[in-house]
Chain A
């Protein structure tokens, strides 16, 4: 080490904190792919076990398919919340993020977006296959994809609030579920309701509009709550 500091020419990074966070989290995640596959395997396993445990009858499976698929997707998301802030907290990069002069809102948006790209989006893409296994009609299939596309980001945002609140604690498992699950229930009700309605041939525009409204609200407000929660968690 030499003690000279180069008077290097430095400029303000145009891409900003948003891109930097996404690039870093994506790179780190793909170096440990096993963590990524976990929620997906959980999703597939739960859905496949239902016909075995309850009944392989196609009319019965068609009736329960929307509920089973959505509950499994919700639990799979819950399982993946750990990867949001926990490792950043342990290696000290979370406090560095809080000490950034850049807008934290963008940083948080980037973190949640990465989480969704790595959990919610793969779940959505995988769902038609599992829906077929449960004899969901074609109309319902489209509704299922749409509701998952609108609903899973909400799950990521709300989950991030809970994850941020519990990040400083040693054992978070049960507390996190207790905090987050009640807030997941509206999404679950509207989303599985929409899939059921679509499977019965009814219009679902109303359901989708409601889900869209919930999503818009969480995108705007949740990052504020997450920033505050992180500050509280780290000040201890």
Chain B
């Protein structure tokens, strides 16, 4: 029996008098990869934001290792990595500077590993050019580099495959499997069919 990391209990969310989801229970344990599916506008992003603690659910509670995330906010955010809808990078800064900032706000120093990580996501030679000169896919890769650089128990990924090419998609799938095997957990939304990801579970929002 693996340990339960994140729990959503009786989550209900309403936007503009429209119920997106109600009495939704989520249980994510170490080793899980949970894919959230649903049509456009079914509340996938809203659910992820509720799970990160950015938004509040109208009803219900999110718990991290059995405690409400409101009470253990700092511990939770230390162990959680969220890749949102927006790029999460400053256009005027270089890939290096962006990653250094991300590391610093997570309380980590890893200057030496940044170039190596950028090479892993296929951005060798782009370390010190401003991000606005990179393509959409490359910017996305800068953001994904955070997953290699900053270890976290739980990843919450909002459409991580957007603008990523085929080989990139494969690499991300491997990355997800690796995270699950290492005893981490992943919650993600995507319309892509995931292959070769052990421990994959699906949740459909209607």
Stretch at the interface among A24-32, A127-135, A169-177: A24-32
Do the beta carbons of A235 and B105 come within 8 Å of each other?
no
| In the complex, residue of chain B having the shortest beta-carbon distance to the beta carbon of A20 | B104
Report if A57 contacts B (CB, 8 A).
Answer: no
A82 within 8 A of B: no
Chain B residue contacts of A10, Cβ below 8 A: 108-110, 151
8 Å CB interface, A1-55 against B: 1-6, 8, 10-17, 19-21, 23-24, 27-28, 31-32
A1 touches B172 (CB 8 A): yes
Q: Mark A78-98, 1 if CB is under 8 A from B, else 0.
A: 000000000100111101111
A236 to B74, CA, bound (A): 21
Known A-B contacts A8-B110, A99-B54; the reply to A92 vs B84 at CB < 8 A is yes
Inter-chain contact A12/B108, CB cutoff 8 Å? yes
Q: Is the CB of B101 within 8 A of A24?
A: yes
Contact A97 B105 (CB under 8 A): yes
- A14: chain B residues within 8 A (beta carbon): 109
Residue B77 lies at the interface, judged by CB distance under 8 Å to chain A:
yes
Known contacts A92-B85, A100-B106, A234-B54; A1/B175 CB under 8 A: yes
CB proximity of A170 to chain B, nearest CB, Å: 16
Nearest B residue to A11, CB-CB: B109
Chain B interface residue count, CB cutoff 8 Å, equals 56
- List chain A residues, Cβ under 8 A from B116: 6
Identify which of A8, A31, A32, A100 contacts B105 (C-beta below 8 A).
A100
Q: Are B89 and A91 in contact (CB under 8 A)?
A: yes
What's the minimum C-beta distance from A68 to chain B, rounded to whole angstroms?
35
Interface status of B26 (Cβ within 8 A of chain A): no
Contact residue among B55, B77, B93 (Cβ-Cβ distance under 8 Å from A100): B77
With CB as the reference atom, state the residue of chain B lying closest to A98. B54
Q: Which residues of A contact B49 (CB under 8 A)?
A: 235
- Give the complex CA separation of A92 and B93 in angstroms: 14
Nearest to B103 among chain A residues (CB) is A13
Question: A32–B91 Cα gap in the complex (Å)?
Answer: 11
Interface: B204 (CB within 8 A): no
Tell which of A4, A13, A19 touches B178, judged by Cβ atoms closer than 8 Å. Answer: A4
Q: Give, as a whole number of angstroms, the nearest-CB distance from B175 to chain A.
A: 5
User: A235 contacts B108, CB within 8 Å?
Assistant: no
Q: Which residues does B use to contact A, with CB under 8 Å?
A: 49, 52-56, 74-75, 77-78, 80, 82, 84-93, 97, 100-110, 112-113, 116, 120-122, 130, 141, 144, 148-149, 151, 167-168, 171-172, 174-175, 177-179, 182
24 contacts between A and B (CB under 8 A): A3-B174, A5-B178, A6-B148, A8-B149, A10-B109, A11-B108, A13-B109, A15-B104, A17-B104, A20-B101, A20-B105, A92-B88, A92-B89, A93-B88, A95-B54, A96-B84, A96-B88, A96-B105, A99-B54, A100-B77, A100-B107, A101-B74, A234-B54, A235-B55
